[in-house]
Structure formats: C-alpha cells, structure tokens
Structure 1
C-alpha cells in the first residue's frame, strides 16, 4: 500500500466519509466507496458503521 499512497493521500481519501445527523433519523453514515473499503481492509481496520 505504501508504494501507491502517501499518508496525506490516505487521510484525504478517508476524510470524505460523511456522518450526517437528521432529527428524524439520528446519525446516518454516508456511503463508502470501494477504494475506501479497500484501504480499511489493507490497514486491518474495521470500517466505520453505526
């Protein structure tokens, strides 16, 4: 993974995952892209969920 990404690039890619809050629904996690899921998997970290 290090040969494809910089730390800054990884953080930028993961930073765009949105957490929205709506009074009638509570917290709603925005969709994650396949690329974001692959990054979490490669790092051995469980992707965020609600």
Structure 2
C-alpha cells in the first residue's frame, strides 16, 4: 500500500513538472502581449475593453 502511494505521488509529480516545462516553452513561443484574435479583452468586472 505504501509503495503504491509513493509511486502515485511520483507519477503525479513527474506529470506536473512536464506540464510546467511544456507550458514554459509554449509561453516563450507565444507570449501574452495582449494581442488576442478578437482584439477584445475582458477586465475583472466582466466589461469588454478594446
């Protein structure tokens, strides 16, 4: 039981690291400049700004 829990946590940790690394490289290639495909952004109140 203990070994199985250790293995589950290890696999979850490795997946989390892989997601973080791939997200980092994705953000390097596609930075958030505020350039959206629609040209509109939502602020915190939910109103659309241009």
TM-score (norm: length of structure 1): 0.28
Higher helix share: 2
TM-score (norm: length of structure 2): 0.28
Which protein is bigger by CA-based radius of gyration?
A: 2
